[in-house]
Structure 1
Amino acid sequence: MRMVAVLLSVLLAASAVPSWAVSLTGINIAGGEFGGLQAVYGKNYIYPDLAQMRALRDLGMTVIRMPVRWERVQPALGQPLDPAEMARIDSVIDAASAMQMSVIIDIHNYARYARQPLGSAGLPASSLRDLWARLAVRYRDNDRVIFGLMNEPVKISAPAWAAAAQDALLGIRAAGARNLVLVPGAYWSGAHSWTRKGSFPSNGEAMLGFHDPGDNFAFDFHQYFDANSSGTTATCVAPAIAEKRLAVATDWLRQTGNRGFLSEFGVSRAPECAAVLTAALQHLAANKQWLGWTIWGSSAWFGDYQFNLYPLQSPVPPQLAILKPFLAVGPAQ
């Protein structure tokens, strides 16, 4: 029954990809965010390996999102980047560039540094600008490097986060970098909740004045399709509900004239999730506001994790077959 559901989803997907569909399509390769602050490279955390990257590129993927820890990249706030850590990251970027793949550097810190929340006395908002200005200088000559400002900012209001993100982007441009920048919202950056109002203004309200003098950014969204959008269970809602969640962000992007990138989403191998994944991919392909996406996730260390899409495991995850029609489809010639 599971195989029938997957095959049906693949057939439906292949007939529903528009000729102009997005070309930044790929995956999160987890591992760089693993472990605590005293973690040892190769034992507690890893970066993407060449065999995995080649397998994903052979599938047709054109971009990987690579989580990294701020504390490892910059062990002391306001100080130089760590040479050993940056050499590891450079090796991934060099290998990806040689394969014609882009790499999103994802600061996977939830707007924190060593447990200090961004905007606190221990972590002033200017620290984020300093980090990104240094990374911008390092990678400004490689347009295959994409800057993901922060993974899922939490414990910070949308207005406070918007101000910090704006300052970080201006720091990137002041450093002479024209790279694509992905700008998330606060409150986990959920697509479904982008315009939801609470005790503070929504992301949709806080980001209305966001601007880029380099005119090369996109808002960065996450969206999972279990009951509460958390991505913590293997179940899926109905395809129509999944599409409705994405449509909240799509409508806002259309109304405000902005672009979006879905840097995290995913489904398990449960049979009912095949149609949900297809519906989500069709929605992204059908709406020109979306630059692309990176599904979650792949890692040699994930084991039987419900969202593991590691391409070298056996059997091959069925979700990869559903992705195939949507991968590396460029504009019509």
Structure 2
Amino acid sequence: MLSSFPRTLRLVTALSLATCASVALATETDTKGIDLIGINLSGANFAPHITPGKVGTNYFYPEKKHFSYYAEKNIRLIRFPFIWERLQHDLDKGINFDQMRLLRKTLDQAARHGQKVILDMHNYARYKDQLIGSPEVPYEAYANVWRHLAEAFKDHPALLGYDIMNEPHSTKGLWRDAAQAAVHAIREVDMKTPIIVEGDRWASSFHWRMVNEDFLLEDPADNLIYSAHIYFDKDFSGRYAEEEVVGPMLGVERTRPFVEWLKEHGQKGFLGEYGVPGHSESMLLAMDNMLAYLNENCIPSAYWAGGPGWGKYVLAVEPIDGEDRPQMHILQKHIQNDCSDIGPQ
């Protein structure tokens, strides 16, 4: 979804810390398989143009009720967006204590509800509108903040992974080296936690092979998960500015290039964002078919979006007056699966 729009895995582990990271995504609950259906629990990424902003006014951290609702729905995979500029107000200054406290509180809430969290830096490969890798934002500044986050949270029981950047776009070829710098920095302090890496061009699954064909990074821990996003409107933006009727296999068609790339390169995948208007029967069907396709390939996904502050936003799945939204019924259909590890396999 484009940056002008406010944007904002529990892949439950076996309790043994000795279990390898990929198998650690398997669930130990009443559901079969691993946790393939997740939610973007958004709110902390709101109003990115107002930084640092005020929590509770410009942006929101989720409360207990948000975690409880999805836990009751057997959704335990959470992607959690946050803003770099709130975490670090200036590149030559340290990390903000209050934001670290709020991030830890979020992880604590997830742990109490048996959920796992992917920390997602929701910055589009930029800091204060300057590209990572430009003179204004050196690679090392970006690497440093991820090194700090990994050092702080690597042992938290609710941490599932690091999504090192949401939807890089128009990066002038700088994104690969930026991503590699973050991977190396994280591995200096954490060799066990999965690192989720999104591709250029807004991480579009449909355009993946056009712009990310050679986007293969080095990881000394061999624990990368590549992540793409997809929306179903005609411009791929997720704005859904017009009423559209789409074909039932549109979601499959738009995710297939990414899935085929993963298969050819022997990589694991994650669909980090997708969402449809709840009133569109054709798009709900297309989402249903897409999730079936992803489940066949054991690829987890996280719906956009839940959490505080959405109101009646047509993509949101927060209940209204206690009633589930139509998208939730589709998500529930795909929780059960036969997967033992993240795919495709």
Task: Confirm or deny a common fold (TM above 0.5).
Answer: yes
Indicate which of 297, 301, 309 corresponds to 1:293: 301
Q: Please report how far the alpha carbon of residue 309 of structure 1 lies from its aligned counterpart in structure 2 after TM superposition.
A: 0.7
Tell me the TM-score normalized by structure 2: 0.83
Indicate which of 18, 37, 42 corresponds to 1:25: 37
Question: Could you give the per-residue CA deviations for residues 146-200 of structure 1, whole angstroms, max 9, x where no partner exists?
Answer: 111011112203x42111101101110111342111100111010000011xxxx
Question: Could you give the per-residue CA deviations for residues 275-298 of structure 1, whole angstroms, max 9, x where no partner exists?
Answer: 11111100110114x2x1110001
Identify unmatched segments of 5+ residues in structure 1: 1-18, 197-201
Identify unmatched segments of 5+ residues in structure 2: 1-30, 341-345
Indicate which of 230, 252, 255 corresponds to 1:246: 255
Check 1:313–1:155 CA distance in 2 against 1; reply closer, same or farther (3 A cut).
farther
Find the residue that maps to 1:280 and give its secondary structure: helix
- Structure with more contact order per residue of length (Cα contacts < 8 Å, sep ≥ 6): 1
Residue matched to 1:7: none
Measured in 2, the distance between the counterparts of 1:272 and 1:314 equals 25
* 105-114 vs 72-81, which moves further: 72-81
Measured in 2, the distance between the counterparts of 1:126 and 1:326 equals 41
Find the residue that maps to 1:322 and give its secondary structure: helix
Asked if 1:283 is matched to 2:293, the reply is yes
Letter in 2 for 1:56: Y
- Work out whether residues 236 and 273 of structure 1, in 8 Å CA contact, stay in contact via their aligned partners in 2: yes
Residue matched to 1:117: 131
Residue matched to 1:149: 164
Tell me the TM-score normalized by structure 1: 0.86
Letter in 2 for 1:321: H
Measured in 2, the distance between the counterparts of 1:23 and 1:255 equals 24
Measured in 2, the distance between the counterparts of 1:97 and 1:126 equals 32
Find the residue that maps to 2:61 and give its secondary structure: coil
How do 1:66-77 and structure 2 match up within 5 A? Answer: 66-77=80-91
Kindly indicate which of the two structures has a greater share of residues assigned to helix: 1
Asked if 1:259 is matched to 2:268, the reply is yes
Indicate which of 90, 112, 115 corresponds to 1:98: 112
Find the residue that maps to 1:272 and give its secondary structure: helix
Check 1:98–1:118 CA distance in 2 against 1; reply closer, same or farther (3 A cut).
same
Question: Could you give the per-residue CA deviations for residues 234-272 of structure 1, whole angstroms, max 9, x where no partner exists?
Answer: 535212222111110000000000011111001111121
Check 1:312–1:58 CA distance in 2 against 1; reply closer, same or farther (3 A cut).
farther
- Work out whether residues 136 and 177 of structure 1, in 8 Å CA contact, stay in contact via their aligned partners in 2: no
Measured in 1, the distance between the counterparts of 2:249 and 2:115 equals 32
Check 1:236–1:50 CA distance in 2 against 1; reply closer, same or farther (3 A cut).
farther
Letter in 2 for 1:227: K
- Work out whether residues 106 and 151 of structure 1, in 8 Å CA contact, stay in contact via their aligned partners in 2: yes
Q: Please report how far the alpha carbon of residue 25 of structure 1 lies from its aligned counterpart in structure 2 after TM superposition.
A: 2.2
Measured in 2, the distance between the counterparts of 1:329 and 1:168 equals 33
Indicate which of 95, 110, 114 corresponds to 1:81: 95
Q: Please report how far the alpha carbon of residue 214 of structure 1 lies from its aligned counterpart in structure 2 after TM superposition.
A: 0.9
Measured in 1, the distance between the counterparts of 2:63 and 2:267 equals 34
Indicate which of 157, 167, 181 corresponds to 2:181: 167
Q: Please report how far the alpha carbon of residue 132 of structure 1 lies from its aligned counterpart in structure 2 after TM superposition.
A: 0.5
Q: Please report how far the alpha carbon of residue 315 of structure 1 lies from its aligned counterpart in structure 2 after TM superposition.
A: 3.3
How do 1:135-284 and structure 2 match up within 5 A? Answer: 135-142=149-156, 144-145=158-159, 146-157=161-172, 159-196=173-210, 202-205=211-214, 207-208=215-216, 210-233=217-240, 235=244, 237-269=246-278, 270-284=280-294
Aligned identity (percent) is 29
Measured in 2, the distance between the counterparts of 1:139 and 1:87 equals 11
Indicate which of 52, 56, 74 corresponds to 1:60: 74
